[in-house]
Amino acid sequence: MLAAKTAFAGIHQFLERTKSRELQVGVIGLGYVGLPLSLLFSDEKFAVTGFDVDQRKVETLAAGGSYIYRILPEEIAAAKTSGFEATGDFGKISAMDAIIICVPTPLNEHHEPDLSYIENTAHAIAPYLNPGQLVVLESTTYPGTTEEVLVPILEKENKFGLKAARLDGSKDGIFHVAFSPEREDPGNTQVARRDIPKVIGGLDPDATECASALYNSIFSRVVPVSSPATAEMTKLLENIYRCVNIALVNELKLLCLRMGIDIFEVIQAAATKPFGFQSFYPGPGLGGHCIPIDPFYLSWKAKEFDFHTRFIELAGEVNLKMPYHVVSSVAQALNRQKKALNGSKVLVLGLSYKKDIDDLRESPSLTIIELLQKEGAEVSYNDPFFPQVGRGRKYELNMTSTSLSDLEDFDCVLIVTDHSTYDYKDIVNRSKLVMDTRNATRGISAQNIVHC
C-alpha cells in the first residue's frame, strides 16, 4: 500500500488528479455540512465516499433517500450516478486522496469545548493514512485545534511513520493538512452554496495549494490565509460578530418592551441608513451549531493566554438568558388573565432553531419547553418538520407534534420559530393568547397578541 500511494506524494500529481477529476474524495460526517459538501463534489464529477458512524444515515443514503429536508432524494440519486457511496468502513480511507472532516464540535456540560468527535475521527483514520494524502478539518473550533489536536494523533498512529508537511519539514513521507471552516447557512436561498467564498489555511504552502485546488473545483472563490489557526479564528470572528450583535438587539428589545417601543420598527428605521449599520434581529435565544457555541470556544482558549474575553462572554450570557425571559413573559401574560403558568396548557409553535429548516441543534425551543415543564405547564408543540422529537440536549422530550385544529383548547400559543407555512392570522383568530417572540404577527391587530 505504501508503494502504491507514494506515486501521488507530490503536489503536482494531486493538482493534476484534481483537474482531471480522478481524485478520490472522502467526506467524514454526513450531516448538515458533510452531505451538502459531498453533493457539490459529486456535481463536479468527483468520486466521493461519505463516511459516518451512524448506520441509519449510511443505509438511508444507500437506498437513495435523504434525511435532510432541503436535500431531495433526486440529488442523492444523481450523486450515486457519479460514484457517490456512503459507508461506515473507515478502512476505505486508504483509497482516498483527500479526506475532509465535518464532525460536530459541541460544548460539554461545563460549557467547555468537546473535541471528542474530532479526536475519535483522527483515531479512526490515522491507521489508514498514506503519503501524499490531504486531510482537511472543517469543524468549527478554537485556534490551534488542527495543529495541537488533529495532527499529533495522525502522526502518532499512522502505520508508516508519516509526518504532516510543515514549513521547515522534509518532503518525504508526508501528508498534507489544512483547515477550511464550513460556512453553511441552512435555509438561505439567496446565496448559492458554491458562491460562498472558502477560507483555507494550510500547515504549509503545499497543503494550502492542494486544498485551494480541491475547493476551487466546487466553489467560485477560495481565500487562502497564512495558517490553520488564522482560518480557525476567521470562523470564530464571523460567528462571534453575529453573536455579539444579536445580544445587543436582544438587550435593546428588553429595554424597548419596558419603554413601550417596538424594537422591530426601530431596526427597520435604522436600516435606512446607507452606511455603518447592519440589521440584526432579536429572538427567543440563539440556535444552530456555531453561533451559540463559538464564543465559549474562544473564551476557553483565551484563558491559556491569561486573557479574559469579557465582552464576548457577556454577549453569550445575554443570549443564554433569552429563553428564561420568554418563560417569564408567558407567566406574566397568563397572570394578567388570572391564570397560573402551573397547570396551564401551552402550545409551542416551532422547534427548529430558525424558520423553514429541519435542524434542532441548540434550538432555544428545547430549552423553553423544558423550562415551561419545570414550572408545571402542560406543554405541547407543533412543527411541520418534526412529527416527533425524542432526546433534547440533556433530557428526554419524547413528544409528538400536535395538530393546530384545537388551538382554542390552549391557554397560550407561543411562537418560537416563525415557519412560513403557519397562517398567523388564523392562529391569532383562534387562540386565547398568542405570545410572539419573532414578530411573526406583524401587521395583525388583535388584543390577544403579546410580543416578548
Domain ranges in the chain are 2-226, 228-320, 322-452
pLDDT number for residue 394 = 57
Nearest to 193 by CA among 222, 214, 219: 219
User: What count of residues does the chain have?
Assistant: 452
Q: How confident is the model at residue 391 (pLDDT cuts 50, 70, 90)?
A: low
pLDDT digits (tens, 9 = 90+) for 392-445: 555 578 899 999 999 999 999 999 999 999 999 999 999 999 999 999 999 999
Choose among 348, 353, 355: nearest CA to 330: 348
Q: Within 10 A of 279 (CB to CB), how many other CB atoms are there? A: 11
Give the model confidence (pLDDT) of 328-357 as tens digits.
Answer: 999 999 999 999 999 999 999 999 999 999
Identify the band that residue 185 occupies on the pLDDT scale cut at 50, 70 and 90: confident
Rounded mean pLDDT of 90-100?
97
pLDDT score recorded for residue 242: 94
Averaged pLDDT for residues 19-31: 97
What pLDDT shows up at residue 8?
44
Q: What is the topology classification, in CATH, of domain 2-226? A: Rossmann fold (3.40.50)
- Return the bridge partners of 85, or none: 49
Half-sphere exposure of 76 (CA within 13 A, CB side): 22
* 3 state SS of 433: coil
Please tell me the distance from the alpha carbon of residue 325 to that of residue 347, in angstroms, as a whole number. 17
Q: Grid coordinates in use for 64?
A: 437513495
Q: Give dist(CA 223, CA 212) in Å, integer.
A: 8
pLDDT recorded at residue 93: 98
Q: How would you label 341-380 residue by residue, b for 16+ Cβ within 10 Å and e otherwise?
A: beebbbbbbbbbbbebbbbbbbbbbbbbbbbbeebebebb
> CA end-to-end span of the chain, whole Å?
62
Question: Which of these, 243, 284, 50, 219, lies nearest to 140 by C-alpha position?
Answer: 243
Which residues sit opposite 348 in a β-bridge?
Answer: 381, 414
* Residues in contact with 190: Cβ distance below 8 Å, sequence separation at least 6, in sequence order: none
Residue type for position 262: D
Average pLDDT over residues 178-193: 88
- Mean pLDDT in the chain? 93
Same fold, 228-320 and 322-452: yes
Strand partners, 47: 24
| pLDDT tens-digit series, residues 39-90 | 999 999 999 999 999 999 999 999 999 999 889 999 999 999 999 999 999 9
Are 61 and 73 in contact by the 8 Å Cβ rule? The answer is: no
Q: Which pairs with CB-CB distance under 8 Å and at least 24 residues apart come from 328-334? A: 329/435, 329/450, 329/452, 330/372, 330/377, 330/412, 330/414, 330/435, 330/452, 331/375, 333/412, 333/433, 333/435, 333/450, 333/452, 334/411, 334/412, 334/433
- Spatial separation of the C-alpha atoms in residues 235 and 240, rounded to whole Å: 9
Q: How much is the pLDDT for 168?
A: 67
Q: Does residue 366 carry a pLDDT above 60?
A: yes
Does the domain at 228-320 match CATH 3.40.630.10? Answer given as no
- Identify whether the C-beta of residue 172 lies closer than 8 Å to the C-beta of residue 185: no
The closest of 243, 223, 244 to 234, measured between CA atoms, is 223
Q: What is the pLDDT of residues 229-257, one digit of tens each?
A: 999 999 999 999 999 999 999 999 999 99
Q: Model confidence over 214-223: pLDDT tens digits?
A: 999 999 999 9
In this structure, which CATH number among 1.10.730.10, 1.50.10.20, 3.30.420.40, 3.40.50.720 belongs to the domain 322-452? 3.40.50.720
Determine the pLDDT at residue 170. 63
pLDDT at residue 287 in the model: 82
**Grid-cell match 504552502, residue found:** 205
Rama region for 196: left / alpha / beta (φ>0; ψ in -120 to 50; rest): beta
pLDDT over 70, % of the chain? 96
Q: Which cell numbers in the block locate residue 360? A: 434542532
Handedness of CA 305, 311, 316, 317 (dihedral sign): positive
Nearest CA-CA partner of 135 in 111, 106, 103: 103
pLDDT of residue 186: 77
Cβ contact 176:206 at 8 Å: yes
Of the chain, the percentage scoring pLDDT greater than 90 comes to 85
For residue 5, the model assigns a pLDDT of: 44
pLDDT of residue 172 exceeding 80, the answer is no
Catalytically active residues are: 290
3-state secondary structure 356-424: CCCCCCCCHHHHHHHHHHHCCCEEEEECCCCCEEEECCCCEEEEECCCHHHHHHCCEEEECCCCCCCCH
| CB within 8 Å of 12: residues ≥ 6 apart | none
Cβ atoms < 10 Å from Cβ of 311 = 11
27-44 mean pLDDT: 96
Tell whether the model's pLDDT for residue 310 goes beyond 60: yes
